[in-house]
Amino acid sequence: MILAVKRKSETPKEPEFKGDETAETSESSLPTEQESTENEKSEEAFKEAEEAEEEPGSWEETFKTHTDSKPSGPTSVGLDFSLPGVENVYGIPEHAENLRLRTTEGGDPYRLYNLDVFQYDLYNPMALYGAVPVLLAHNVQRTLGIFWLNAAETWVDITSNTAGKTLFGKMLDYMQGGGETPQTDVRWMSESGIIDVFLLLGPSPKDVFRQYASLTGTQAFPPLFALAYHQSRWNYNDEEDVSAVDNGFDEHDIPYDVIWLDIEHADGKRYFTWDPNKFPHPREMLQHLAAKRRKMVSIVDPHIKVDSSYRIHSEIRSHDFYVKTKDGSDYEGWCWPGSAGYPDFTNPEMRAWWSSMFAYDQYEGSMENLYTWNDMNEPSVFNGPEVTMHKDAVHKGGWEHRDIHNLYGFYVQMATALGQVQRSGGVERPFVLTRAFFAGSQRFGAVWTGDNAAEWDHMKISIPMCLSLGLVGISFCGADVGGFFKNPEPELLVRWYQVGAYQPFFRAHAHVDTIRREPWLFGEENKALIREAIRERYALLPFWYTIFYHSYRTGQPVMRPLWVEYPQDTTTFSIDDQYLLGDSLLVHPVTAQGARGVQVYLPGKGEVWYDVRTHQKLHAPQTLYLTVVMSSIPVYQRGGSIIARKERVRRSSDCMQNDPYTLYVALGHQGTAKGDLFVDDGHTYNFETKGQYLHRRFSFSGNTLTASSADPKGSYETSAWIERVVILGAGKPAAVFLKQAGVAETRLEFTHEAETSVLTLRKPAVNIGADWTISLR
């Protein structure tokens, strides 16, 4: 059930008295002329006193050298929510914070105001690059959500009557019968706008995700290459540098799919252009990458250099598409190119024009394998208040920037993604990375956690930051591998590759002043460890692609906290150093310097888990201490699941399109398992528009593995086949037989490892789209 509550805000123009509104008015109660005069004098005196005591900045506010004229006067809207029985709340990203939100009593509230933050602090309620005003509350009975639909600067205050109490104290209260019911109170406060609240009543976590998706949309289904590994830095110097890095991956046998270009690739930071000296032949560069079935991403930021000879600026100005100052002139600020104008992306005509600039005949030098990165779209204004746009700047329709600030980056990404779709005639799926975001940004691409640092705590915080984003619909998220600022020591860099390989968006990126960090520059041993982490990502791409398909269809997060799958297990409520991918893989990356072991919690009463490397079977629930070495990435497959992998890793994901699959069947405690696989061409909308896809279902029961269609409406021709089936937790059969319709039953070769109970079936050699059964006898 979804309940929406709306109420308009009011702008207080002058103090107003209200007496007993239930009292009746009669002629005898009306004031006399003398009393009226006295009342008027009293009111005038009160107004004068109120004005004298009025808080400075109410009607005009100065921040350093910036003045906010507040033409509508002081405004705000707010609403309080009480959540009886709730101690655990999550969401309201983006903050560099634990997954479970802290109470804000005695400190600042959580702030939601998209800002370009330089080297942000950790475990802090400060505002960062994006804002999603959605909070989730959870206890063993139910999950619910609060969606505060307001794009103005917003503060969220969280208080609790159990804050500060230890677990022992809570138990003592319970035993003595004097403990009060736990309650969390949440106060939402926005500077302007209306009260527009959606209550998502669950009752399960998956119900809340579905309800929220019905309002804002689901995660865009990314092209397959976008789920592979991305190589970036600020900046690859020139075409020769790009070629050398590209060849380096081949020479060192490390797969990658996308190389990125930052702001230095453009001609004087003029976006949609190329530096004529460093990148004089962009099409030839892109064609060289395309020949290896690789892609490129170039940055296109929304600050436009004020230069009459720059076509993009001239056209925006001629169409009158720039944001205005309060006086009606074009708003200008300072950013990378120097003096810059800011297109008004709230204007649909401006967005349509921006989208048209991505056409191949408009974006000179672009090709089908060039995709886009929208950075600095909070928007970032170097000489603006808090490094952003003045609140009294004006958008189309007279809207002040203060009203729509958190939506600016949302619209930039929207227009860019639409431009990529349009350039292909609506055939190709886009890929756009954005730094600023709002509720619904998931429909247009990926986000990342911004300018982090090469520090252990920054790597560790990336996990709860991505989990928080997933809870509010944005599944396609990641952090700069290695850290953006500073230089990582080799141990940190290796561990960060291992962390990133199991996060949805997997990109290495670095500041211009850092040393070069290509994976082969840290010695043979570290290169081998990084290579192995990246190869693990590529082997799992069929699984990643399938869980992203489910997220696209249902709104369920790809990377999810344990409590989402185990909502009644209180142990999971505060865990944010491990997580689930879909409902089948549990990941506990190593995030501590010099770690020799990690403690892993395996949830699920009566369930079993399998170490994906050793295939050791473990019974849940339990907390185990796992000894780790530098090559360790603790990952466990859930008993009862079936996962498809491609274990012939090549130089890019596209090169693996027709390669064979290996099915990993992890038997549950009752000897059953199930799973699925989504297959299409990996890059077009043909799965939607032409039904060109396969959605395969696998199930194991009664010693029989069955493959069938999960959606008979789909059809797709592929030569990919199944080369191996690995069954975890299986006994040794006397014989194994494969049966297909219209084909005689055939006997399969197999091996069985008694110590680990792993049964490996060799070369079933069936097409991935075929129906078949394998019987263990």
Per-residue pLDDT of 242-298, as tens digits, reads: 999 999 999 999 999 999 999 999 999 999 999 999 999 999 999 999 999 999 999
Q: What value does the mean pLDDT take over residues 493-513? A: 99
The whole-chain average pLDDT of the chain stands at 93
**Portions of the chain given CATH number 2.60.40.1180:** 633-776
Q: What is the pLDDT of residues 673-728, one digit of tens each?
A: 999 999 999 999 999 999 999 999 999 999 999 999 999 999 999 999 999 999 99
What percent of the chain has a predicted confidence (pLDDT) above 70?
91
- Give the active site residue among 375, 480, 576, 577: 375
Does residue 224 surpass a pLDDT of 70? yes
Confidence band for 173, pLDDT divided at 50, 70 and 90:
low
Please give the structure tokens belonging to residue 21.
């509104």
The question of whether 157 is a catalytic residue gets the answer no
Report the C-alpha gap between 773 and 645 in whole angstroms: 19
The residue ranking higher by pLDDT, 143 or 119, is: 143
Is pTM beyond 0.85 here? yes
pLDDT in tens, 408-458: 999 999 999 999 999 999 999 999 999 999 999 999 999 999 999 999 999
Tell me the C-alpha distance between 95 and 106, whole Å. Answer: 18
Determine the average pLDDT of the residues in 54-76: 86
Give the β-pairing of 585-587 and 635-638: antiparallel
Q: Which residue of the set 451, 569, 676, 680 is catalytic? A: 451
For this structure, is 20 an active site residue? no
Q: In angstroms, what CA-CA distances link 631 with 490, 628, 755?
A: 13, 8, 23
Please state the φ and ψ torsions of residue 506, each to the nearest 5 degrees.
-120, 95
CATH number of the structural domain 66-216: 2.60.40.1760
Range(s) within the chain of domains with CATH label 2.60.40.1760: 66-216
Which residues, at least 6 apart from 503, have a Cβ–Cβ distance to it below 8 Å? 462, 463, 466, 477, 478, 479, 559
- Between residues 165 and 506, which one has the greater pLDDT? 506
Sheet arrangement for strand 608-611:
559-560, 579-581, 585-587, 635-638, 608-611, 617-619
553-597, pLDDT tens digit by residue? 999 999 999 999 999 999 999 999 999 999 999 999 999 999 999
Task: Please compute the mean of the pLDDT values over residues 12-34 and round it to a whole number.
Answer: 37
Q: Is the pLDDT at 31 greater than 80, yes or no?
A: no
Quote the CA–CA distance of 426 and 418 in Å, as a whole number. Answer: 9
CATH 2.40.430.10 fits 633-776, yes or no: no
- The 3-state DSSP class for residue 763 equals strand
| CB half-sphere exposure, 560, CA atoms < 13 A | 22
**Cα dihedral 447/448/450/454 (nearest 10):** -170
Report the C-alpha gap between 700 and 722 in whole angstroms. Answer: 16
